Structure 1
Amino acid sequence: MADSKADPGATTAPAETYTEPHASTAGEPIPRPNGWMYKGFHIGKRELWYASPKVQLFMVAMVCFLCPGMYNALSGLGGSGLKDRTAQTNASVSLYSVFAVVGFFSGTFANKLGLRVTLGLGGLGYSVYAASILCYKHTENMGFVIFAGCFLGLCAGLLWTAQGAIMMSYPPEHSKGRYISWFWIIFNLGAVIGALIPLGQNINNTGGDATDGTFVGFIVLMLIGAVLALFLCNADKVQREDGSRIILMKSPSWSSEFIGLWETMYKDPWVVSLFPMFFASNIFYTYQLNIFNGAHFNARGSSLNNLLYWLTQIFGAVIFGYALDYSKVRRSMRAKISLVVLFALTFIIWGGGWAWQVKQLPRAGTATLWDWESGGGEEFVGPMFLFMFYGFYDAAWQTCIYWYMGALSNSGRRLSNLAGFYKGIQSAGAAIFWRLDNIGVEYNTVFGATWGVCAGALLIAGPIIFLRIPDTVSIEEDLKFSDETVEDVAPQAVLEEKKADAHGIAKEEV
């Protein structure tokens, strides 16, 4: 047993060895299959190909740029662009209620149907939602809004599970933080550019509702995103720079995938301690977008806040994504540091938010709707910067939780299930908090509940982050969740080393 562990050809070596780009022993580039998907093209000094992780992640990010990115820009206005927030809160409750159920099982659907089909189906619901809000503005057809929310919950569950699996399983281990930050940059650029639409439309609008052109612009962009999803390649076609492939199931069936859903928790029950972080990861949108921005600013004031909120998320994603990949500190230590930093930010940013919130009128009061001209601008600047810090906090939280899941496994199959758990539980939390706003819970109560859940979730997540996130995950560990072999997925350098070892053993036997 001791000899087998010390064998330099064994595949239990650190995954960092597997995932760094390698040339073959002869100094030649890693061979790729024939076909247009693998034909290289250069951007600067980097060679890319269509079926490479970077290109595929870029395409997924563009889909999210155009679909949920535009949805975030619309939601960020408060009330989805309507000063009467009843339509959005009703839609959001139905959306996240359906999302919670679909999300929990969507990893199974992603593994069975494939990530490309799952992502394509998932993009359909966003334009229907935007159309329902425009319809409500003119007809007050609440039934259509609630239906659109339910349909979007179904679609979003599929889209975000496929997106999460791609973002966490396609990159090599040493680059997961950067891949997450690149995705978050492009995705939030969608919200930033989307936020420019209502800002331009409402620059002279000191009233309530956004203009019709605002909604039409969102509908068109969301439709384009749904079509783009169909142009991705299947996960089994993707090849990394080192020649390795994504760990999947060769012949998935519905029964094997439901078993895999159970195995994800059965084989590592510690993952349950991440569930409160999953739950908390979208609850702050109710307070931030609907109560803070929607109830206290007019159309053009909330539009500017919305733009700055998503712009700040880009900086948060870059800072945390690259810090989480800092190679001079062990990965297990980076995980611990990131949790401590998140805990500190929770009390610094939300503590500052409480100092502002306690000075505001209660829900039943008539709040002044601010913009940059209010009080000569002085009344607007402080809340504007607070809202920007809320955006930074959101990006930090999302980047860390994706990185934590990606640090537990490199298996596309397992990460699809984890992404499904994440989105399902996340949506349950969002549905509850949107409902709190819908039934008229006091603003201070919603704020306190949000802050408390976030702080408590970090404490509960401590054991798995401090004790269970390893410096690397071996290929054998990931293959427990697949029917593939090392030869199917290992990097070229590892396969060549195994062949050399086998050849040497054969000579000794002779």
Structure 2
Amino acid sequence: MADTVDQPYPTEKGTHETIINESWTPDQLPKGWMYKRRGRIPWYASPAVQLGLVAFVCFLCPGMFNALGGLGGGGKTDPDLADKMNVALNSTFSVVGFLAGTIVNRLGVRISIGFGGLGYCIYAGSLLASVHHNVPGFNIFAGAFLGVCAGVLWAAQGVIMVSYPTEAQKGRYWAWFWAIFNIGGCIGSLIPLGQNIHVKTASTVSDGTYIGFIVLMVAGACLALFLVDADKIIRSDGTKVILMKNPSWMSEIKGLYDCILAEPYILLLFPMMWSSNWFYTYQENAINAAYFDTRTRALNGFLYWFAQICAASVVGPLLDNKKIRRTIRARVMFVVLVVVTAAIYGGGWAWQKKYTRADVSKDSGFVPWDWTTPGYVGPMFLYFFYGCYDAIWQGCMYWIMGALSNSGRRTANYVGFYKGLQSAGAAVMWSLDWHHLSYAGEWASNIGLLLGSLVVAAPLIFIRIKDHVELEADLADVDETLEDVLPTIPIEKAPEKV
């Protein structure tokens, strides 16, 4: 171990792990195929390549699932079955997701994401089966099993996206991932749009649509096997990700408690986490499935996911703007979230007040709107902006978690909290829709929770987000010494502050 006095404290240009290094540089990396550069293409075990692989896994698995869900009712005319499946999905997701950070720390990201991709294929297969046979048991099982798989997959994905980049890259890496992921939703929406282009009535999508989704989801699950685990990653500045040496299940479960103890302000972020998937039910069922025919639902779905790509490409770079201090960016982000929430959901009420559940029920004689219906442009743009809002909210959530820590171990727990609470909120909302809460009530719950959660999170955003996360802060919940955390890496001590 070398003691030095000339190692400077890092700035926001690199993570705190610049004071813990193996002397790697982008021009001098370890031997092995995964560290070889080919022209301007980064080495295989770089954050850029690994995030790209994860983005394409999510493109093929959650992306196709989002396209299917974006049709409203899982592509079926009656949304009740999809409501029940999604209640089961989000119920198990909420439990597994809350503990998923522990699972990922123990199993590693490659196994976690590979396992996570399996549930999406089974979910789409159960919907196809339900078109021809009454198999409610299989449908509920598929939803519950997907909740387990998705909880693990998204926790592992969150670890990669939040802890792999340097502090100055986190917003852009999120934008890159979110764009690729939502291209999956766009392409997935084009499948039912193309196959149902002449269907102007509200009907269940064709068998070919479901089969197309299943094939793509299987491909995504297989692609996950080509990932490498976090202990092999070397960043662009030569640093590595903080990991625990040989974590046990007991140490990881205890780590959940230690994580909250080290950063109790994270509790203030829980309402924002709860709200982050709450609005999908309202948008997919109360608007898209309730009011539009099959081909227009598919078009709306495409526009929704395309809007996410547009918003992510703007929000990510803005959150990483080096000309503005990170503390200032956090405060501006908070104000923008409040304004955008009020503006978009205010516009949403102008549309929602026009109809109720009874007005669009099967017995009312209501004829679903087509894109040729006069007046369609207004709700089309509303749905587009709802997609933009989703990307803005999720991007800010990931950025906040990334601003609180650079440790792969701690961010795994943060993302686990995020996905668990997110899914618990979604399970409640799907259940409310299943029990036919009024559409106006669903809208009110959306804007109330979103604005209320921002108020609760304000102290964390204004007080706890700093311009840079110090190393000792990231290791506050680790009982072991630095040698125990990174046993293979020579430690260079940072100079004492005067």
In the alignment, the residues of structure 2 paired with residue 134 and residue 200 of structure 1 have an alpha-carbon distance, to the nearest angstrom, of 18
Match of 2:38 among 36, 41, 44: 41
In the alignment, the residues of structure 2 paired with residue 16 and residue 418 of structure 1 have an alpha-carbon distance, to the nearest angstrom, of 23
Letter in 1 for 2:321: Y
Match of 1:200 among 194, 202, 208: 194
Secondary structure at the counterpart of residue 379 of structure 1:
coil
In the alignment, the residues of structure 1 paired with residue 193 and residue 89 of structure 2 have an alpha-carbon distance, to the nearest angstrom, of 26
In the alignment, the residues of structure 1 paired with residue 206 and residue 172 of structure 2 have an alpha-carbon distance, to the nearest angstrom, of 38
In the alignment, the residues of structure 2 paired with residue 60 and residue 381 of structure 1 have an alpha-carbon distance, to the nearest angstrom, of 35
Contact 1:20 1:172 in 2 (8 A): no
Contact 1:247 1:412 in 2 (8 A): yes
Match of 1:333 among 328, 333, 339: 328
Shift of 1:230: 1.2
- The C-alpha deviation readout for 1:400-458, integer Å capped at 9, x for no partner, is 00000000000000000110000000001000000111001111111111111011011
Shift of 1:361: 3.4
Is 1:16 equivalent to 2:10 in the alignment? no
Closer, same or farther in 2 for the Cα pair 1:17/1:148, shift >3 Å?
closer
Alpha-carbon RMSD across the aligned residues, in angstroms, is 2.5
Letter in 2 for 1:333: I
- Tell me the residue number matched to 2:403: 407
Q: TM-score, normalised by structure 1?
A: 0.90
Shift of 1:140: 2.5
In the alignment, the residues of structure 2 paired with residue 436 and residue 7 of structure 1 have an alpha-carbon distance, to the nearest angstrom, of 60
Contact 1:30 1:243 in 2 (8 A): no
- Tell me the residue number matched to 1:140: 134
Shift of 1:364: 5.7
- Tell me the residue number matched to 2:169: 175
Closer, same or farther in 2 for the Cα pair 1:362/1:235, shift >3 Å?
same
- The C-alpha deviation readout for 1:316-347, integer Å capped at 9, x for no partner, is 11111110000000001101111110110100
- Tell me the residue number matched to 1:386: 382
- Tell me the residue number matched to 1:289: 284
Contact 2:25 2:237 in 1 (8 A): no
In the alignment, the residues of structure 2 paired with residue 398 and residue 143 of structure 1 have an alpha-carbon distance, to the nearest angstrom, of 33
Shift of 1:284: 0.4
- Tell me the residue number matched to 1:161: 155
In the alignment, the residues of structure 2 paired with residue 152 and residue 27 of structure 1 have an alpha-carbon distance, to the nearest angstrom, of 40
Q: TM-score, normalised by structure 2?
A: 0.93
Shift of 1:372: 1.2
Contact 2:261 2:477 in 1 (8 A): no
In the alignment, the residues of structure 1 paired with residue 298 and residue 385 of structure 2 have an alpha-carbon distance, to the nearest angstrom, of 16
Q: Which moved more, 1:381-390 or 1:46-55?
A: 46-55
How many residues are treated as equivalent by the alignment? Answer: 485
**Unpaired segments ≥5 residues, structure 1:** 503-510
- Tell me the residue number matched to 1:31: 28
Letter in 2 for 1:265: I
- The C-alpha deviation readout for 1:11-68, integer Å capped at 9, x for no partner, is x54353557999x9x99854211110101112xxx34010000000000001100000
Shift of 1:122: 0.7
Match of 1:91 among 82, 85, 96: 85
In the alignment, the residues of structure 2 paired with residue 242 and residue 47 of structure 1 have an alpha-carbon distance, to the nearest angstrom, of 15
Pairing of 1:413-428 with structure 2 (within 5 A): 413-428=409-424
State the identity %: 51
- The C-alpha deviation readout for 1:135-160, integer Å capped at 9, x for no partner, is 11111311111110000000000000
Letter in 2 for 1:270: Y
Pairing of 1:324-473 with structure 2 (within 5 A): 324-363=319-358, 365=360, 366=364, 367-374=366-373, 378-473=374-469
